[in-house]
């Protein structure tokens, strides 16, 4: 079962391979949607010491950053390291 919580955006590490898939247009569209409706789906992260590693939700995370958010809702998942 996934545990939902809110974490500081600065505590979420984005793996290099995942960063390379970033689409700025998608981020802008999501940010506009979040302004209108709020964030509908939390991102997925796995704990890694004192930080969290992004598993899924790069564009949602970047949209939160673009909107000036300092925290983001997440689901903690048990995922294997890549």
**Per-domain boundaries in the chain:** 3-76
- Crossing angle of helices 24-37/58-66, nearest 10°? 70
Q: What does the DSSP 8-state code read for residue 55?
A: E
pTM of the model: 0.88
pLDDT in tens, 65-79: 999 999 999 999 986
The token pair at 13 is 């590490």
Query: What Rg do the C-alpha atoms of the chain give, in angstroms?
Result: 12
Q: Are 82 and 13 in contact (CB under 8 A)?
A: no
pLDDT in tens, 16-38: 888 888 899 999 999 999 999 98
User: Under CATH, which number does the domain 3-76 receive?
Assistant: 3.90.1530.10
Confidence of residue 1 (pLDDT cuts 50, 70, 90): low
Q: What angle do CA 37, 38, 43 make, to 5 degrees?
A: 130
């Amino acid at each position: 079962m996934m545990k939902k919580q809110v974490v500081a955006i600065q505590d979420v590490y984005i793996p290099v391979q995942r960063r390379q898939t970033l689409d700025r247009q998608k981020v802008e569209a999501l940010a506009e949607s979040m302004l209108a409706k709020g964030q509908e789906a939390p991102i997925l992260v796995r704990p890694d010491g004192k930080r969290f590693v992004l598993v899924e939700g790069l564009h949602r995370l970047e949209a939160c950053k673009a909107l000036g958010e300092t925290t983001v809702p997440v689901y903690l998942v048990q995922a294997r390291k890549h």
